[in-house]
Amino acid sequence: MILDRKKIKEKRTGFTLPLIFSALLISGCTVADQETETVAEADQKLLSVTEPVQRDFAEISRSGVLRMITHYSSNTYFLNQGIEVGFEYELVKEFARENDLALEVVIIGDDENPYDLLNSGEGDVIAANYTITPERREWVNFTRPYNLVDQLLVFSSSVQAYPGTLEELSGSGIPVSVRRNSSYYSTLTRIIEERGLDIEIDLIPDVMDTETTLVQVAEGEYLATVADDNMFDATNRYMEGLFAGPVISRNDTIAWAIRKNAPDLESRMNRFLYKHFRFTEDRERPRRSTFLNVLRKKYFGESRQVAEYYNPDWQFQSLGIISPYDDMVKAVADSMELDWLLLTAMIAQESSFNPESKSWAGAVGLMQVMPRFVEVEYDRLYDPMVNIREGARILKEHMMHYSYMDSTNMIAMALATYNVGLGHMADARRLAIDQNKNPNEWENVADALLKLMQRRYYQNARFGFARGIEPVQYVKEIMNRYRTYEAVIALAENRQQSGISGVFGTSMSRLP
């Protein structure tokens, strides 16, 4: 029997920020209730883009940006005191780095289908701990695997007697809560059919991720679910109320999903992943690179960042918090009529939110302010509020300098000037004019900045050689991060409006 769960109880308290975004994905979604419907058929109902856009590695390389589609969760992507982290994020970021690409994170929204985001060109790769399944292969291609996992049943501690086998679960009346669009549903339905078991499947909204479901099981909202063993192990380190049941599938392969018409991207990703993960002859003990083992230990073993992610007493419990300096940034931004998320993205890029940061060139503090450009005593620049105010003032001056441009070009020009200086920017704009290009378009100026790294161009420039790749990348990375911060805030606001207040009760006593 399959239950269609359309209403989730809303008696939660004590959210931590990261789990807000994943846990609150449960609202406003219904699923089909035909038992005979396949996963592929269920997914197809949600698809609106069936023909992928033409965007292979050549197009991605020309844009300079690789866009990663993922969920906001502890094993994929999350913010830790403003810094972007996560197993999938760091793995994809390394691929992007090796291919001279900036990385932009596209967070899957409430009503968004990841396949649509991929095939429409909104993103280039789905990196979300996806198991390779025949159903998913109908819509996307997969790279070579980078992980092997076992699927296991996970029970709530509120269950009186834990079934030790699937046969014991059969007829027990304990429903197993899974998403129809998950590989877990496919595995369960296959087992039920093959063995003739009477296992009750409780369908939950397709937008709920595995981590959120595990939280619900720990809270006793669900009695059982299915999870990959690595995700269960990571969650179980920091959460009480979970009990591991029998394994229902072994050695499932985890891979990235890409468009079917992107063979060059697939080839490059496969070469990258081959360096980090290879099968042995028995497939039981794959060989992993040191880099991959470090990531696995960091996110699926004990980790300060993941502990903070789960900690209900973590200082950033409120909705919409990006960094420890949000209040300061908002106050300064309001006083200067600037976008506080833009300033926050700059701080992340400049200093990774370290107020004691100092560069080789002498720039200091959160916004890496150069002492010679301000009328503030040197030591005071290490005061976060002072540094943010001075950095924002400099950015504002640059924006005023380009105020006759449209907002997109104005912001890009101001950011680049903040990084490389007015002199080199003036040289780049003059070079754009010399090449009969519009000097008020950032794309043209970015191209000129790159040319100022070549002797035949910089030898005639007033300010000489410029390491143009740095401001170009600087603008890309800040704007990518800005868009991600916007998505995080939008998710927080949507969840807040849903009226659900928390996921954790008293089940977190394992935390240090």
pLDDT at 61: 94
Give 60-74 pLDDT, tens digit per residue. Answer: 999 889 999 998 888
Helix (H) or strand (E) holding 448: helix 442-451
Residue 287 and residue 190: Cα distance in Å, rounded? 30
Closest to 126 measured CA to CA, from 185, 66, 184, 180: 66
Which of 312-321, 478-487, 498-507 is modeled with the greatest confidence? 478-487
Q: Which of the pair, 209 or 53, is modelled with greater confidence?
A: 53
pLDDT at 32: 34
Q: Residue 82 is encoded by which pair of tokens?
A: 């403003």
State percent of the chain over pLDDT 70: 82
Q: Which of the pair, 285 or 56, is modelled with greater confidence?
A: 56
Closest to 90 measured CA to CA, from 146, 134, 16, 139: 146
Helix (H) or strand (E) holding 125: strand 125-131
Any idea which residues carry the catalytic annotation?
A: 350
DSSP structure string for 131-164: EP-HHHHTT-EE---SEEEEEEEEEETT-SS--S
Q: Which of the pair, 233 or 391, is modelled with greater confidence?
A: 391
Residue 57 and residue 66: Cα distance in Å, rounded? 9
Buried b (16+ CB within 10 A) or exposed e, 12-42: bebbbbbbbbbbbbbbebebeeeeeebbbeb
pLDDT at 374: 86
Helix (H) or strand (E) holding 249: strand 242-258
For CA atoms 222, 223, 226, 230, the dihedral sign is positive
Q: Which of the pair, 493 or 444, is modelled with greater confidence?
A: 444
Would the pLDDT of 318 be above 50?
no
Residue 296 and residue 147: Cα distance in Å, rounded? 10
| pTM, rounded to two decimals | 0.74
Give 406-417 pLDDT, tens digit per residue. Answer: 999 999 999 999
Q: Look up residue 56 and give its DSSP letter.
A: -
Strands 102-107 and 65-70: parallel
* Residue 171 phi, psi (nearest 5): 80, 5
Lowest average pLDDT, out of 276-280, 310-314, 369-373, 477-481, goes to: 310-314
**pLDDT average, residue stretch 286-312:** 79
Would the pLDDT of 184 be above 60?
yes
Lowest average pLDDT, out of 169-173, 338-342, 469-473, 505-509, goes to: 505-509
Would the pLDDT of 43 be above 60?
no
Q: Where are the domains of the chain?
A: 326-476
**pLDDT average, residue stretch 416-439:** 95
Give 362-399 pLDDT, tens digit per residue. Answer: 899 999 998 888 888 888 899 999 999 999 999 999 99
Amino acid, single-letter form, for residue 383: D
Question: Which residue, chain included where needed, has tokens 């609202």?
Answer: 27
pLDDT at 45: 46
Q: Which of the pair, 236 or 491, is modelled with greater confidence?
A: 236
Would the pLDDT of 475 be above 70?
yes
pLDDT at 38: 43
Given the candidates 1.10.10.10, 1.10.490.10, 1.10.530.10, 3.30.56.10, the CATH classification of the domain at 326-476 is 1.10.530.10
Q: Look up residue 371 and give its DSSP letter.
A: G
CB atoms within 10 A of CB 275: 12
pLDDT at 82: 75
Q: Look up residue 506 and give its DSSP letter.
A: S
Residue 113 and residue 96: Cα distance in Å, rounded? 24
